[in-house]
Amino acid sequence: MGMGFYNSISALFLSSFFMHTFIPHSCLPCFALPGNETDRLALLEIKASITHDPFKVLTSWNETIHFCSWHGVTCGRRHKRVTSLSLPSLKLAGSISPHVGNLSFLRVIDLQENSLGHEIPPEFSRLHRLQVLQLNNNSLSGEIPTNLSCCCQLLRLAVGFNVLMGKIPNELGLLSKLRVFSIHFNHFTGGVPTSFSNLSYLEKFSASFNNLSGTVPDIFGRMTNLSFLAFDVNSFSGMLPPSIFNLSSLTVLAMAFNEIQGSLPSNFGIPSLHIFSISDNQFSGSIPVSLSNASNLIEFSMGVNQLHGKVPPLTNLHKLKRLVLAENHLGSGGIDDLTFLCDLSNATHLEILQIFTNNFGGTLPQCIGNLSSSLQKFNIAQNKILGSIPNEIANLANLEVLLMSWNQLSGHVPPGVGKLHKLYQLSFGGNSLSGNLPSSFRNLSQLNVLSLAGNKLQGNIPPSLAECQNLRFLHLGANNFSGIISQEIFGLLNLYVLSLEQNHFIGPLPENIGILINLEYLDISDNMLFGEIPASLVSCVKLEYLDMHGNFFNGTIPSTLSSLRGLTKLSLSHNNLSGTIPEFLENFVFLESLNLSYNNFEGMLPIKGVFKNATATSVEGNSKLCGGIPEFHLPKCKFQHAKKEGLSLTMKLVLSLVCGILGVIFALTFLYLYCSRRDKKGQAASDSDKFPQVSYQSLLKATNGFSSTNLVGMGSFGSVYKGLLEQGETTVAIKVLNLVRRGAYKSFIAECKAFKNIRHRNLIKVLSACSGFDYRGHDFKALIYEFMVNGSLEEWLYPIHTIGERNERPTSLTISQRLNIVIDVAMALDYLHHHCETPIVHCDLKPSNILLNEDMVAHVGDFGLVRFLPKAAENSSGNQSSSLGIKGTIGYAPPEYGMGHEVWTQGDVYSFGILLLEIFTGKRPTDDMFQGTSNLYSFVKVALPEQVEEVLDPVLVQESNHPNEGRASNRVLIIESLISVLEIGVACSAELPRERLNIYDAVAHMCRIRNKLQANGICE
């Protein structure tokens, strides 16, 4: 071998050495097919990795046209190589193929706003020409590949709204041309790498909603092009570098929800600033006077800090829309603390003004009437403000929230408040206001919350307040109200909370309180009410808190209250109640506090349930009670035994009575057998006669001859038409039975029987029936229901293009609406299963049988397959068989029906669970994606709780990403609540019946979820 061979070997070794030493391996180009064929094959691999394409955009990616004409693909003019891959907002699911690294001419990748999962392929590092990488709003996980630093042309990196984790790679600091760095809404930890000091061209740094920590580095102050700096909702601490405020181009500075401390520098009033948000930190000191230099400010948020002193002049902040100074130590309690409010008269676009929980004193200046007519939220609660409320507040015509509670305000409630027609939350509680409530309150038709508790208001509650039909929270406790509680107040059908405690009300509690079927909190304690506890309280099945102590109620505890199984607190102490303590209280599994003390109860004290806890139960002051657990220290109960002679006489009487009853039963049996021979038509007439009859002619006229234009739906046994009865004044839904269909006649009988004695707000109401003949002499049977203007739940979950009056409604349901609907349906089932004389099983629960009225209240309909159960079979878990076959609809019918199990209430619970999962995932149980052993139940169960966003309806995920007020805590609460709701659906739809949740427990759990959301202003 000659020297040439050794020289060749040496050259090869050296080239290999330098290549592996100085060039990162991941940055080496891959060996691929030359030219256009490489790009075409790479695109086909990318298409293959997409598992869900709802808009079918990738159908254009086929061999019939050149790949440069495929949807979302852009090629260069000269070489016909792919330069841009743009497929945003298409709901694509699957993963990003590593073959994307073969598109070596790519400059732009835009896959944002989809549902792509798995990791970011490290093959992106091969794309040396890449300038824009936008992957935000997907479900990507893992870490940002460190070798992205090989993309030396990268100008924009956006991977926000994913579940990426790990530390920010230090290597990204090598992207010296980077202008946009966006990683918000992920799970990154650690600090900002020091290498980022090389990013001299950086214009936007967005790292909000992560777990970043450490101090805010001084490097940002040296980025002279930086205009957007956001790292709110992290764990940064330490001091804020003053150099940041030397950036003359800075427009957005958001650092809320961290642990940053220290005082604000005197030069912080940058003229270019539009948004300045430092709420929820540990800033101290005063607000610098230089604030007035920030003349372009739109949002100024400094709430929840430790700032003190006076608020400097705000006269130059003409563009201000949002001012939040709440929860600090601002003000001194002096008379001039609120002078800055008059400065805000120049802010003609002001929408939000929140200065609550500070030390502001003085009186409210009349100039508040000169504030912007755009003002929507005005909150000055928990300060030291004196004097009366200026009537000029009536000028703020667009005000929606007015909170002045817990100050030292006095005088009357100004009547001008009644002119604020858009108010939905009004709170003057905890002051010294006096006089009567203004009658003008009747004009507040949008009012949702009214809190006047803790004042010196007097007189009656004006009956006109009942005109505020949107009221849900009414707090009038701790005042001097007197007189009889008017029945009109209990006409506020949407009330959740009614608080009237510590007043001077007299008389009985109105019987129509049962109308308040949404009521969850009722406090009428410490008044002078008397009479018996209304049995109608049974209708308030959502009650969780009931306090009636300190009155003069007498009589016994009504047995009907046994339906209030969701109670967590019950206080009846200091009344004149008597009789025995009912045993049904033992079964209240959620009851945490029970106070029955200082009444006249007698007999044995129960020992189960809440009565096992002497700290949670109080029965003192009832001298005739006995028994109970030892901790109550009650005497033992004594029982008297009858003498033998008396027993013998009793036995004789019993035998005589039994013989008489048997004779009566024999006679009734004979009569029943005789009557049961009537033909089916006689039965139908008997059942339909329970409803007001209408003629075939009137229905023909009402539906314009059963015109197809009046057809609104078709079911298993007939068609539903929209009609106008009573000279066109009443709109109804008319279900005409197709008696040719097998089972239609039986369906008509079943519906008549079901609706004969049941009434519930969440059940469709039958108004009338028709049983006769049409013009051809054929049997004709129809049922007339109340008309539901918002159609069926099916139409909302799977909207189609329609014409007519429904085409303007929203195309999707909000989280709040969906939660309200499933609660409504569960309430209806609970009523059918547990509150009817005979338990009723619906047997066909599905979206098309859930109808929605104008207020989006859900009503369960179509009782054509209904079954009536004997009490003993209501929850029987025996392996009963039946020859009836599957009852219901495939996908919703429980698996045990397919194995011959008899119809039972647990079957409805299964159907409800599937319905709930469908409502919140947007997927039918019969979807093509469910094959083999896969089903909707397993699809959701395996995703809980960590991957819940992968199974939720994308509409709900988007809504949760933009919670009220934009607070991270709200988003977390929404996701946690959605997890809990889906867990209820999974618990109800378990394949083994013994593992299913009870429907009334499901109601209680979901109501608690809704209450928690409402308390945070999320759920309506």
Under DSSP, is residue 467 helix (H, G, I), strand (E, B) or coil? helix
Instruction: For residue 321, give the nearest of 296, 356, 290, 288 by alpha carbon.
Output: 296
Cα three-residue angle 680-681-683, rounded to 5 degrees:
65
Distances, alpha carbon 194 to alpha carbons 197, 216, 605, 839, in Å:
6, 11, 71, 70
- Please list the residues that pair with 434 across neighbouring strands: 412, 456
- Please list the residues that pair with 868 across neighbouring strands: 840
DSSP assigned state of 859:
E
DSSP H/E element including 623 = none
Cα three-residue angle 922-927-929, rounded to 5 degrees:
105
Other beta carbons within 10 Å of 637? 12
Q: What is the rounded CA–CA span in Å between residue 518 and residue 855? A: 14
Does 1001 participate in catalysis according to the annotation?
no
Under DSSP, is residue 956 helix (H, G, I), strand (E, B) or coil? helix
Whether 197 contacts 221, CB under 8 Å: no
Whether 985 contacts 913, CB under 8 Å: yes
Q: Catalytic pick from 343, 844, 953, 1001?
A: 844
What DSSP assignment string belongs to 655-693?
HHHHHHHHHHHHHHHHHHHHHTTS-HHHHHHHHHTTS-B
- Please list the residues that pair with 230 across neighbouring strands: 206, 254
Distances, alpha carbon 631 to alpha carbons 610, 613, 628, in Å:
13, 9, 8
> Helices then strands (H, E): number in the chain?
15, 56
- Please list the residues that pair with 958 across neighbouring strands: none
Instruction: For residue 325, give the nearest of 358, 350, 293, 351 by alpha carbon.
Output: 358
Angle between helices 815-834 and 905-921 (to 10 degrees): 180
Q: Give residue for tokens 């977390």.
A: 972
Q: What is the rounded CA–CA span in Å between residue 540 and residue 563? A: 9
Q: What is the rounded CA–CA span in Å between residue 209 and residue 183? A: 9
Cα three-residue angle 772-773-774, rounded to 5 degrees:
135
Under DSSP, is residue 51 helix (H, G, I), strand (E, B) or coil? strand
Instruction: Take residue 45 and report the two structure tokens written for it.
Output: 């691999």
Active site residues: 844
